[in-house]
Amino acid sequence: MMFKWKLCTFFLYVTCVCVMLKINHNVVDWVPTQIQCACQICLEDNQLPVHRFNASPVPFLYQDCKLEEDTFNWWKEMQTETRNFSTYRKTVQALFDVIPPSPDLIKATPDVCRTCAVVGNSGNLKGSHYGRLIDVHDIVIRMNSAQTGGFEEDVGTRTTHRVMYPESAVDLDNSTHLVLVPFKILDLEWVVEALTTGFTGQSYAPVKSKITANKDLVMVVNPEFMRYIHETWLKNKGKYPSTGFMALILALHICDEVYVFGYGADGEGNWSHYWEKLKDKHLKTGVHSGNQEYDILQELAKQKTVTFYRGW
């Protein structure tokens, strides 16, 4: 009788332990692993508060990258693409006849700390004196037609990655990566033709026929990654993410430490560019959910996932 009682007690104890382990597993879905970079704190070791972070979506297209048709159907609605999935696949195939088969990225290793400065275009950079602070980073990401000439003291001089789309394109030097954010098949055609024969198509705004850029440093953001940002990070707020917000999330995926500058409205609440004279004080963020994006940035900064320099 005593033996049976001890046996029952043992099984009851094992059951309780298993239940507790299962509960803990459900509550804590991330456990720190071996440090993968030479930083004091790596992003990989700080994912617990980044509840939206998912390492699975591939940030950039590569030669054998397969896009699901349902993701294509989501993507084509961003700017009302009328052509079909077959045309998309043929265009991507032609793309890799011109650009490298895989993106040029600094690999994550225990010996390297990849630091990124993500530099937005906000007017709050005026008078910030962040230039030297920005330039010390391994990767300096700028967006669209952001200027540095005449603003070096506040925004720095270096650019390693320029995130753009055809309507915002500018010429680049030979060491800067052109990071294309494609919103339609025309954008993929543009980067191929603008780097070779010259683009002759038409978009909703004027685009450069030819662009100066290093073809070996071109990278194209994966539509699947764009969908992940819109659905997982923004919860479908806004028609689609802004270039600046996509650059921020890209940095979280390719860097070990992320430092953010020039995001949000200026000191008077205007959404303005630091190199332009503000003409319309009622200008907002258009199809993008600017306030939602900024709130997420502040959340990341509060959690110390990124370091955010607000400017003003």
Quote the tokens at residue 159: 């650019």
Total-model pTM: 0.83
- Of 55-69, 152-166, 188-202, give the lowest mean pLDDT range: 55-69
Calculate the CA 298 to chain-centre distance: 16
- Residue 29: pLDDT over 50: no
293 versus 44: the higher-pLDDT residue is: 293
Give residue 118's pLDDT: 98
296 vs 306: CA distance, rounded Å:
11
Q: Which residues does the annotation mark as catalytic?
A: 240, 288
Nearest to 143 by CA among 125, 25, 128, 129: 125
Domains of the chain: residue spans and CATH: 27-309 (3.90.1480.20)
C-alpha–C-alpha distance, residues 26 and 29, integer Å: 6
- Is it the case that residue 146 has pLDDT exceeding 60? yes
Of 19-28, 181-190, 194-203, 288-297, least confident by mean pLDDT is 19-28
C-beta of residue 148 within 8 angstroms of C-beta of residue 157? yes
Residue 93 has pLDDT above 60, yes or no: yes
* pLDDT digit string, tens, across residues 233-257: 999 988 889 999 999 999 999 999 9
